[in-house]
Amino acid sequence: MSNINKVVLAYSGGLDTSVILKWLQDTYQCEVVTFTADVGQGEELEPARVKAQKFGIKEIYIDDLREEFVRDFVFPMFRANTVYEGEYLLGTSIARPLIAKRLIEIARETGADTISHGATGKGNDQVRFELGAYALNPDIKIIAPWREWDLLSREKLLAYAEQHGIPVEMKHKQGGSPYSMDANLLHISYEGRHLENPAAEAEEDMWRWTVSPEKAPDQAEYLDIEYANGDPVALNGLTLSPAEMLAELNRLGGKHGIGRLDLVENRYVGMKSRGCYETPGGTIMLKAHRAIESITLDREVAHLKDDLMPRYATLIYNGYWWAPERSALQVLIDHTQHSVNGWVRVKLYKGNVIVVGRDSATNSLFDATIATFEDDAGAYNQADAGGFIKLNALRMRIAAKLNKS
């Protein structure tokens, strides 16, 4: 253990990572650097600094990563219309490569030889953090306390905290929230306790960002979203930064009960897990992006993207953001987005995102003179369709004759 000199700890200031901080000092006798990432979780982060200082931490990083998170991770993912297992918009998964990147950067800046995180040995996050770290620094050492220590219950963590004078908020002593939660600008997730029974409906008072569709406004609200190179850049005529855009879409979507999900997913480590998610802004973005692509992408390009998307989604879910195959897919995806420019109008109403209009002044492939049901003045010769159909039916006609004989 003496070969560990300095550790950068991904530190939230909560019970788990506060215990980890002290445990690292006691177990490895090493210097600890704390890193707290602001990815839009909506919590006050300065208390983490105070807690770290209490235990003699001299190098404390609290970084506002909201713009980088949305610009360089969320938006690229949404260019692919990414959905895991048909439903999950990957809110937790997409924040992990950014945190891993910053852990490695801070280790380099501070001369640390090791990083540490609070992910458990049962979850996906340990894989995501560590795959990312090794991809960015193959020589980095990693300490995952949940795979080493014997503090494997809430009671043991609380006892350790009390023994070592680690401040614990009263909510922990009283049982606190019944859920394990993760939040960032893209989503908030809920797992554990009541939700561990997949047959049980989540309580209404669990949800934090969205009203129930039943209590959403009776009046629909319209949004105009402008796209440039596949990314939303303006909302109702107002240009917004990536983080501002997602935050405002979260507010509007939450107001109308949009973006709730109750899912049993397949974790990379092999088990099934039930989680609930709120992704109001992401739900709007996915619907709107597919709408603008519908008039600006060539058919086969759009279908190719749809074919590749599940593979791309699985790479992100499993922690391979920094892998060469994800980078290669991203080049293709980003290339397709050069023509994805224009605007989309959506209607928000009681949990629904309804596309009601879309147009592109520069890149629309929709030709009304050809698509019309009225007289097209010769723009399309309908007689051509006969030969097209016969050629495409040729193999089936041959097979049918063989079967008949």
346 strand-pairing partners: 223, 355
Same domain, 123 and 234: no
- Tell me whether residue 243 is in a domain: yes
Q: How far apart are CA 230 and CA 241, in angstroms?
A: 14
The CATH number of whichever domain residue 246 belongs to comes to 3.90.1260.10
Catalytic positions, written as ranges: 16, 96, 125, 180
- Tell me whether residue 327 is in a domain: no
The CATH number of whichever domain residue 13 belongs to comes to 3.40.50.620
Residue with tokens 């938006």: 75
Same domain, 166 and 224: no
Task: Please name the residues in contact with 354: beta carbons below 8 A apart, sequence gap of 6 or more.
Answer: 346, 347, 348
- Tell me whether residue 304 is in a domain: no
Mean pLDDT per block of 10 residues along the chain (405 residues) reads 86 91 94 97 90 94 98 98 98 98 98 96 95 98 95 87 80 54 95 92 95 98 98 98 98 98 96 97 98 98 98 98 98 98 98 98 96 92 95 96 91
Question: What is the DSSP track for 287-321?
Answer: HHHHHHHHHHS-HHHHHHHHHHHHHHHHHHHHT-T
Same domain, 352 and 383: no
Amino acid making up residue 397 = R
Same domain, 210 and 129: no
Same domain, 259 and 121: no
Token output for 187 = 């989503």
Token output for 5 = 């000199």
- Tell me whether residue 393 is in a domain: yes
Same domain, 137 and 55: yes
Q: How far apart are CA 72 and CA 79, in angstroms?
A: 11
Phi and psi torsions of 65, nearest 5°: -110, 15
- Tell me whether residue 345 is in a domain: yes
Strand order in the sheet with 6-10: 60-64, 31-38, 6-10, 114-116, 141-143
pTM of the model: 0.95
- Which of the listed residues 138, 155, 176 is the one where a domain comes to its end? 176
- Tell me whether residue 76 is in a domain: no
Same domain, 154 and 27: yes
Q: How far apart are CA 61 and CA 7, in angstroms?
A: 13
Same domain, 190 and 263: yes
Same domain, 19 and 123: yes
- Enclosing domain of residue 384: 368-404
Question: What is the DSSP track for 188-202?
Answer: EEEESGGGGSTTSPP
SS3 377: coil
Instruction: Look at residue 169 in the predicted model and tell me its pLDDT.
Output: 64
- Work out how many domains the chain is built from and give that number: 3
- Tell me whether residue 49 is in a domain: yes
Same domain, 97 and 199: no
Of the candidates 87, 179, 100, the one whose C-alpha atom is nearest the C-alpha of residue 142 is 100
- Which of the listed residues 127, 146, 176 is the one where a domain comes to its end? 176
- Which of the listed residues 176, 195, 215 is the one where a domain comes to its end? 176
Same domain, 225 and 172: no
Same domain, 23 and 100: yes
Of the candidates 35, 153, 16, 45, the one whose C-alpha atom is nearest the C-alpha of residue 98 is 35
- Tell me whether residue 53 is in a domain: yes
CB atoms within 10 A of CB 2: 7
Strand order in the sheet with 221-228: 238-239, 231-235, 221-228, 342-349, 352-359
Of the candidates 238, 216, 234, the one whose C-alpha atom is nearest the C-alpha of residue 225 is 234
